[in-house]
A and B are shown apart, each in its own frame.
Chain A
């Protein structure tokens, strides 16, 4: 009886362990698997390509649908099957990679491209003819959007280098007597005081998302170090450079001056933007892409301003430093695609046509490839200012920070800067600890 019980137990354990170990040994070499069933050439020479791209609102549907319609004219044999991307930090795409189900073409960012490059889930596009053509078509200054820090090309970008600006409500500023442009931190702090006294939120910010507090801080840093966060990605750098220390101290002063709402770190985009659009906030910080919404909601009441600096001389010297860094992103190709050559051509085509739509239909000059077609729509005045005033004079773009751990530490600590009791010293100590760990 005892032996029988032991035998039965042994059988059960053996079965369990066999199952476990066989699964443990199951390799996951993404490149070696046969997948992408959607791209099997069908009858009549049609090539089906599965494309994973954002397609959930007018801003994302417009460019993609336009590009696909143009593709039909240029490459009628190609049939696109859209797999709409979800806003999940690319987890769905990573799951596709882990399970060997990568789409032929996918749109993704630099963080994911780095992981995919290591795991061979992205085709290196360096030697394709389409890449040479794409390089030649780039607008000046946006090379970092196409060519990764390691020198390779992994994706074809449509947008150019995006950046953050400060929007302000001209009517509210006139009402409370704030002169524009605000050039110095002291002027910004004084403006915050006036707005607060008049019952307005001085600057609405959706600081529940950490990237925006980080972007605000980067705006201050780039007044004195045009490279911005890129300067932190340097081997051997274990302490924050002076520009970062000064920016942290200024951010603390601005917070203490009441620039941000007390509940800012718990405010999301919808809440922050509605504060601004309903005339309850004097300023709003976001990327240049907000121009379309703000022009639509506030008309000529709204404008954007350059980032203030410690004094007027620094303001004038640094106003054309762009507070945005170009990181590689765009349409990438899976190495496992059965129609890889076609997929590469289509990826480049989709990116170029998406950019063309953004330029011609939306009037956005923030695109990577040049287009020879004219703008076919009314361009908001604020965007026209960017095209005429900022971009032609742009001195330097911020540099890319590729280290995720340092970026996360910056995100966490800049969000903390909006909370009472968290000081610039805390910020500096925390960042120095991360830099020591990551850059040594």
Chain B
């Protein structure tokens, strides 16, 4: 192995194509975005240097508060629903005594392979205030909770986030299921022999040993929530008004509707920074106490 790693020219040669590709499709656009965020630029004309003007304007933009709040809510719904429910389902499906496990595993993953547009249209119909399944369900159950799900300025973001959570729960489930299966059964058996109940053993043995899996799942859920866009675009077009805006929707508006690319780049930089901070925090939280 050392012999191969010691051959630096060969190492450079083999790394170069991947490094170039990575630079072109990732590093270059990121650097360009940061660079352009300091300019007043409409996407076509020569850009004029604006210093920090875009950032100053951004922090006074009323859309920023709405977008940050919506991003946080979206991320919270994804984290709670996808990881919470995904973990329970993964533990259930990992139990060899549960019948129909294969069917359940397939069923949970089916929404993931559906088109986002199809899923959104399906839920638009289900959220319809007059004829939708959700309100009908409350009606049938005798719960007086008839809502205009996608119009309400306070509920619509949660309703939309739930659609994303429902569709991609199967993806998180598959990661969590793999995590559960990676925990050696001996530990679990030892805990039960020591008198632990099944769920108590999972709580004290299985879940702590899935730390790395959870770290990855939370990173995906939180960053997806912060950068959510497609569901809002399809289901409410960001409305009513701007109530369902997120940072990505802001980028879409300023770049493609207002041709204000410099400002949109500043929003993009903020989005990247927030995602990076969220990733670092998640890593720190899950690494805490690991090496103690």
Q: Is the CB of B43 within 8 A of A98?
A: yes
Residues of A within 8 A of B259 (CB): 94, 111, 115, 404
**For chain A, what secondary structure do more than half of its interface residues adopt (helix, strand, loop), or is it mixed?**
helix
The answer to whether A263 and B128 touch (CB under 8 A), given A15-B20, A16-B19, A119-B45, is yes
**B124-149 interface code vs A (CB 8 A; 1 in, 0 out):** 10001110000000000000000010
Residues of B within 8 A of A210 (CB): 237, 239
Q: Is the CB of A413 within 8 A of B258?
A: no
A24 to B12, CA, bound (A): 25
A374 contacts the other chain (Cβ, under 8 Å)? no
Q: Is the CB of A208 within 8 A of B237?
A: yes
B27 contacts the other chain (Cβ, under 8 Å)? yes
A20-B28, A20-B32 known, 8 other contacts, Cβ within 8 Å: A91-B256, A97-B44, A121-B44, A208-B237, A262-B148, A415-B239, A416-B240, A419-B240
The answer to whether A20 and B44 touch (CB under 8 A), given A266-B124, A266-B150, A418-B240, is no
Chain B nearest CB from A91 CB (Å) reads 6
Residues of A within 8 A of B16 (CB): 15
The answer to whether A20 and B23 touch (CB under 8 A), given A118-B42, A121-B44, A421-B153, is yes
User: Can you show 25 pairs from A to B with CB atoms below 8 A apart?
Assistant: A8-B8, A15-B19, A19-B20, A20-B31, A24-B31, A24-B32, A24-B35, A111-B259, A115-B45, A115-B259, A119-B42, A208-B236, A209-B237, A210-B237, A263-B148, A265-B151, A266-B124, A408-B258, A412-B239, A412-B241, A412-B242, A415-B241, A416-B239, A416-B240, A419-B240
Interface residues of A in 399-440 (CB under 8 A from B): 404-405, 408, 412-413, 415-416, 418-419, 421-422, 433
Chain A residues with a Cβ closer than 8 Å to the other chain, count: 43
A210 to B19, CA, bound (A): 45
Residues of A within 8 A of B27 (CB): 16, 20
Q: Is the CB of B153 within 8 A of A12?
A: no
Chain B nearest CB from A16 CB (Å) reads 5
The answer to whether A4 and B8 touch (CB under 8 A), given A263-B128, A263-B151, is yes
Interface residues of B in 6-24 (CB under 8 A from A): 8, 11-12, 15-16, 19-20, 23-24
Q: Is the CB of A115 within 8 A of B42?
A: yes
**B27-46 interface code vs A (CB 8 A; 1 in, 0 out):** 11001100100000011111
B184 contacts the other chain (Cβ, under 8 Å)? no
A4 to B6, CA, bound (A): 10
Q: Is the CB of A262 within 8 A of B240?
A: no
Q: Is the CB of B24 within 8 A of A19?
A: yes
A262 to B241, CA, bound (A): 15
A413 to B253, CA, bound (A): 15
Q: Is the CB of A408 within 8 A of B253?
A: yes
B292 contacts the other chain (Cβ, under 8 Å)? no
A-B contact count (CB 8 A): 108
A4 to B259, CA, bound (A): 47
Interface residues of A in 378-411 (CB under 8 A from B): 404-405, 408
A97 to B12, CA, bound (A): 38
Q: What interface size band does chain B fall in?
A: 35 or more
B62 contacts the other chain (Cβ, under 8 Å)? yes
Chain B nearest CB from A239 CB (Å) reads 18
A262 to B46, CA, bound (A): 46
Q: Is the CB of B43 within 8 A of A115?
A: yes
B1 contacts the other chain (Cβ, under 8 Å)? no
The 3 closest A-B pairs by CB, nearest first: A119-B44, A416-B241, A119-B45
A149 contacts the other chain (Cβ, under 8 Å)? no
Q: Which residue of B lies closest to A114 (CB)?
A: B259
Q: Is the CB of B241 within 8 A of A413?
A: yes
Q: Please pick, from A94, A263, A419, A421, the residue contacting B43 in the complex, using a CB distance under 8 A.
A: A94
A19 to B20, CA, bound (A): 8
Q: Please pick, from B44, B237, B258, the residue contacting A94 in the complex, using a CB distance under 8 A.
A: B44
Most buried by B among A24, A209, A265, A405: A265
The answer to whether A265 and B257 touch (CB under 8 A), given A98-B44, A419-B153, is no
A42 contacts the other chain (Cβ, under 8 Å)? no
A179 to B290, CA, bound (A): 78
**A246-267 interface code vs B (CB 8 A; 1 in, 0 out):** 0000000000000000110110
A118 to B47, CA, bound (A): 11
Chain A nearest CB from B60 CB (Å) reads 9
Q: Is the CB of B240 within 8 A of A115?
A: no
Chain B nearest CB from A437 CB (Å) reads 9
Q: Is the CB of A19 within 8 A of B28?
A: yes
A171 contacts the other chain (Cβ, under 8 Å)? no
The answer to whether A266 and B236 touch (CB under 8 A), given A8-B8, A115-B43, is yes
Q: Is the CB of A118 within 8 A of B44?
A: yes
Q: Is the CB of B12 within 8 A of A30?
A: no
